[in-house]
Structures are given as structure tokens and as C-alpha cells.
A and B are shown apart, each in its own frame.
Chain A
Amino acid sequence: DIQMTQSPSSLSASVGDRVTITCQASQDISSYLNWYQQKPGKAPKLLIYGASNLETGVPSRFSGSGSGTDFTFTISSLQPEDIATYYCQQYTNLPPFTFGPGTKVDIK
């Protein structure tokens, strides 16, 4: 099975800061990497698919990059409504379609 790691596990930043989260796969997953945002008590929301494609309706301050085993998720200017936990997920041909452990983002 493919294992996913994320770092950091949590971070605190100021409004307007640039925030970066990294995700690493235990083997090459090409660009089959998705990013989700989850707010407390809510279902996850898709933000980025295929490593770098912005889901329709998602603000452009969110972006993703990477391929192979190393991926990056960036919020270019943190907003109060971005307080959430962010998960990466690999979606290659074979299950299980594992998620990373999550990164909790809050406001300093």
C-alpha cells in the first residue's frame, strides 16, 4: 500500500501570510494527488485535483504543485476562513486510496 506523509502536522500563521504544506508519497504516484479542506463538523471539500488543478469555485489563493513522490500545497495569502485541516490523498489505479494524516492550520 502507498503511504502518505504530511508536514507540518499543524501550523499557526498570520492573516495574509503565505502558507505551505508538503505531502510525500511512499512511491511514485505521478500526479494522482488531491488536496481537501475540512472544517470542524463538516465534510471534506475538494480544493486541488491532479496535483495542480484548481477545483471550480475554489479561490485562486490556493494552489498545488509536484509530481512523483513530493507535492506542495500553498495558500498565497491566508484568510480567516481558511482555518481548517488540510489533507492530501493519493488516487492511483489501485486501492486503498490513502489520505495523509492532515495539517491543521490556524491563525496566529
Chain B
Amino acid sequence: EVQLVESGGGLVQPGGSLRLSCAASGFTFNTYWMSWVRQAPGKGLEWVANIKQDGTEKYYVDSVKGRFTISRDNAKNSLYLQMNSLRAEDTAVYYCARDHYCSGGVCYTLYYDYWGQGTLVTVSS
């Protein structure tokens, strides 16, 4: 059974930092891209970042570029999101999601079929 379990959320002051983790199990982690998606209270879904299987490619939404860093440890089947210079508008539930995989130059599963339960990040003084 595929499982994604986020941790690391909490209350942080504006300008502070937080590191989110996502522990993956039930699938071959190092064959999939992985993503972070967030949802501000009462708002819609926003894609935040994703990372290639081997960590060599990373993409971010403009609003977090230069402040957030996505990374992964395939030996530990774990995904991370380092969040620095946090702002009130970063307050949200952060979900990790299984992204696509590519094989032989063709990419498959261009959707998020598995999601974690989410972890709440609150940026407030």
C-alpha cells in the first residue's frame, strides 16, 4: 500500500524557517518525481515545487523561488521542503504527492495519484 506521511509543520514567526518531511512507502520511491502542494485556509490548491527522481531537476512556483528548497533522500525514501524567510501568506496545509515517472524518454502518470494527509504551517507573530 502506498503511503505518504508528512511531518514538521507548526507555528513559526514571520521571517523564520521550517523543514517539512514526507516519508514514502509502498512504492519504488526513486523512480518517481515528487511534489509539494499547499492549501491556504479556506482557499484552493496551489502547486509549490517538484523534484526529479535523482534530485537533479527542481521546479518552484514563483512565489517561493529563492526561499523554499525541495530535496529528497532516496536512501531514506523521504522528501523534504526547507522553507526560509516565511511570510504570513505561506500559512497553509502542505501536502506531498507522488508525481510522474519517466522511462525510456516517455513520461507516465502525469497526475497526483497519492497524497499525504497534510501538515499545517502557520506563520504568525
Contacts and interface: CB of A to CB of B under 8 A. Distances in A.
**Chains A and B are bound partners:** yes
Interface of A: 32, 34, 36, 38, 43-46, 49-50, 55, 87, 89, 91, 95-102
B47 A34 contact: no
A99 B46 contact: yes
Contacts, number: 58
B117 A98 contact: no
B61 A96 contact: yes
Contact of B59 (A44, A45, A55, A95): A95
- The prevalent SS among residues of A at the interface is loop
B45 interface: yes
A49 B110 contact: yes
Interface residues of B, number: 22
Given A34-B111, A49-B110, A91-B111, A43 B46 contact: no
B111 A43 contact: no
A36 B113 CA distance: 10
B91 to A, nearest CB: 17
28 contacts: A34-B110, A34-B111, A36-B45, A36-B112, A43-B95, A43-B115, A43-B116, A43-B117, A43-B118, A44-B37, A44-B45, A44-B95, A46-B111, A46-B112, A46-B113, A49-B110, A49-B113, A87-B45, A95-B47, A95-B50, A95-B61, A96-B59, A96-B61, A97-B47, A99-B44, A99-B45, A99-B46, A100-B44
Interface string B49-67: 0100000000111100000
Contact of B47 (A32, A46, A50, A98): A98
B47 A44 contact: no
